[in-house]
Structure 1
Amino acid sequence: MKNILNKFFPAITVSALLLAGCQKMSKPDLGEYPEDANPPGGPLSFYVAFDGTTDNNLKNAVDSIRANYPSDNPLTSVDGISGKAIKGETAKYVKYIKPNDWAITAKSFTVSSWFKRDGQTKNNENGNGPEYILSFRAANDYNWSNGNFLFFLEGNNAACGVKLYIQSKNGDGWLTWEGGQMIAGLLDNKWHHIAAVYNAPTSTMTLYIDGVANPNTKVWGTHGDLNLDDEKIAEVRIGRGPRNDSEADGAAGWLQSSFKGEIDQVRLYSTALTAAEVQSLFVNKK
């Protein structure tokens, strides 16, 4: 079990989830899955631990907040930072319909994940390119990228860029650590924790690597609240960019690229976690 920040949030039970009517009856039986301690309507909006050990890949990638199964999970289960994780492959990814109510409720936010990758990131044609931890595919060509939330790595172990692109109702913005701010040691075939924390009142984002805040804080102008358009989110993807193989995007498919390493414990919070809370995720391997 990967129970998050027990001292901050009370536990939610499986029975409570069932009474709330959140289980999709057309999906596999609920069974057992990792829970995060988080009350209904709490700050943790979406959480996938990949801890299932069944022969049903949908069960192994259940979103624990709403007991929602992915619509597809073609990826292999491997040992993670704690319990199980997924191993990325070219052109494959785990997909969900929505990030629950995250896009509706989040003003400030935190995106958090563990990852393990060895060496240079590659596009799906094996040239140098980005690899996506998480993306949201946009509906009806809403955006030039066909996506409204992109979170990816690009580089090698000597210097790796971390990049977020967000399309909100207010406009779009890039929040990136690249060029002279690229980070060494991220792609050394070891598990690393990454968290990007956006504070709406100051329009600032702080990047945490292995529990430590990067000194280069980013400012999204005077954007304020996240203000995503939930109706324009067509699909949540773990391990791939927002475009499909049939959609040309130039530069050897940088918007199609998939993660070739391993991913564990993807979380979306509708609040800006404190430095102590991010540190707890890292120290306790959550």
Structure 2
Amino acid sequence: MKTIFNKNILIAALLTIGLMSCQKKFDPSSYAPKLNIGGYTSVKQIAASNLVGYWSFNSNLVDSVTNTAGTAVGTSYTTGFEKQSLQGALNGYVLATPGSGITNLQSFTSTLWINTPAPSTGIIGFFSLAKTDAFWGNIEMFFENGSSNTNGKLRIHVTKGGNDYTYAVDNIQNLFDKWNNIAFSYDASTSTCTLYINGASVSSGTINGLTGALSFSNVGKVVFGCVQFQTNPSQTSATTSQPWASYLTGQLDEVRIYNKALSAAEVAAIVALQAKGK
């Protein structure tokens, strides 16, 4: 009887050990709720049907929306805000073919991460949608000469019906030598431009003479790293390179283009989620 009792104890002990060995190590983080910002848990959930261009620059120049690759001239890759980024250079830039979703924009939002020194020898272009017969592109974004961390100056050109319009914002603080998110939107329904820095609106208003939907013409390449005429050869027949224009020598990352004006909440969610690697 004693032998049977001891055997039962041994069997029970072995079963307990077996069950314990099958259990996974307790991970408190597995019980934590998913990160949720503005109703989103990932950037790719935000206005997904409106995304018309996306360049991650993770060791490639592919637009993930159209699955087409750009061409690098003198640029490379380095550690980015998220994974890797495009590393600019003097006389360096990237050319990419825009999809129809970009060439037919009427309203839009662009959002990107950038880390670069302030201009020292010329304006620094970082995104352009070329216009092959005009001085400025259909979209042209650059830091103006004289910019500093106490007075950052951004210029955004857009076109409609062959006419060029400029949205200018000065006195932006701490715009250089660190990662910043720059988002710009144009809302055709209200003819309103809005500039966001790191998810917060720093300027909003209209441009004199610009109303309604944008309309681009003679659309050329997308240019990253300089304004459209600073490439070799120039992307426009209207002019060649200028001595007062230079190149992005810092880093550019996570460029997204949407075919609508994102809401302030959507822009803020993009920035917050990307800051968490989501």
Q: Does 2:253 align with 1:264?
A: yes
Q: How far 1:97 sits from its partner (Å)?
A: 2.1
> Does the 8 Å CA contact 1:197/1:206 hold for their aligned counterparts?
yes
Query: 1:134 corresponds to which residue?
Result: 127
Query: 1:160 corresponds to which residue?
Result: 152
State the SS of the aligned residue for 2:63.
Answer: coil
Q: Does 2:43 align with 1:5?
A: yes
Structure (1 or 2) with the larger CA radius of gyration: 2
Q: How far 1:250 sits from its partner (Å)?
A: 7.8
> Does the 8 Å CA contact 1:45/1:65 hold for their aligned counterparts?
yes
> Does the 8 Å CA contact 1:109/1:272 hold for their aligned counterparts?
yes
Query: 1:93 corresponds to which residue?
Result: 93
Letter in 2 for 1:174: T
State the SS of the aligned residue for 2:127.
Answer: strand
Give the distance between the partners of 2:134 and 2:210, measured in 1 at CA.
Answer: 21
Q: Does 2:114 align with 1:115?
A: yes
- Please identify runs of 4+ aligned residues in structure 1 that moved more than 6 A: none
Normalized per residue, which structure has more helix?
Answer: 2
Aligned-residue CA RMSD (Å):
2.2
> Does the 8 Å CA contact 2:53/2:64 hold for their aligned counterparts?
yes
Query: 1:224 corresponds to which residue?
Result: 212
Q: How far 1:91 sits from its partner (Å)?
A: 1.2
Q: How far 1:108 sits from its partner (Å)?
A: 1.3
Structure 1, residues 128-165: CA drift from partner, whole Å, max 9, x if none?
A: x21111012222xx2134x3221111211121101101
Q: TM-score, normalised by structure 1?
A: 0.73
Letter in 1 for 2:127: L
Letter in 2 for 1:86: L
Equivalences, count: 228
Query: 1:242 corresponds to which residue?
Result: 228
User: Where in structure 1 are there 5+ consecutive unaligned residues?
Assistant: 10-37, 53-59
Q: 1:170 to 1:234 in 2, by over 3 A?
A: closer
Query: Sequence identity of aligned pairs in percent?
Result: 25
Give the distance between the partners of 1:144 and 1:166, measured in 2 at CA.
Answer: 12
Q: 1:246 to 1:103 in 2, by over 3 A?
A: closer
Q: TM-score, normalised by structure 2?
A: 0.75
Q: Does 2:190 align with 1:202?
A: yes
Structure 1, residues 17-76: CA drift from partner, whole Å, max 9, x if none?
A: xxxxxxxxxxxxxxxxxxxxx3xxx31101100113xxxxxxx11110011111335412
Give the distance between the partners of 2:42 and 2:168, measured in 1 at CA.
Answer: 27
Give the distance between the partners of 2:184 and 2:225, measured in 1 at CA.
Answer: 17
User: Where in structure 2 are there 5+ consecutive unaligned residues?
Assistant: 1-40
> Does the 8 Å CA contact 1:175/1:220 hold for their aligned counterparts?
no
